[in-house]
Amino acid sequence: MVALTYAIYFAAITALEDGTEEITLPLEKKEILKRYRLPLERFLLNTDVINSPDMTSLQALAIFITCLRVNETGRSI
């Protein structure tokens, strides 16, 4: 459940456009994304999504991968 929560946070920050004036973030967008990405990756590794998937972990993984495609440009995605 924690991984899904972090994935939703990650998606929410990803959805914000750069230079959004209505919302004042405490840090740069890239820094906030990094703060959510690292724990999310650890949670997904600890839950062992590939070998024993459950619906919550798969939802977190799907949201995370979708958002990574927006934030990262490379073949690793």
Q: What pLDDT is attached to residue 73?
A: 63
What is the C-alpha separation between 8 and 27, in angstroms, rounded? 18
14-18, 21-25, 56-60: least confidently modelled range: 21-25
Q: What pLDDT is attached to residue 22?
A: 64
Contacts 24+ apart (CB under 8 A), 22-26: none
Q: Quick check: 47 and 35 in contact, CB under 8 A? A: no
Tokens of 15: 């959805």
Q: What pLDDT is attached to residue 8?
A: 93
Q: What pLDDT is attached to residue 74?
A: 62
Domain ranges of the chain: 2-17+31-71
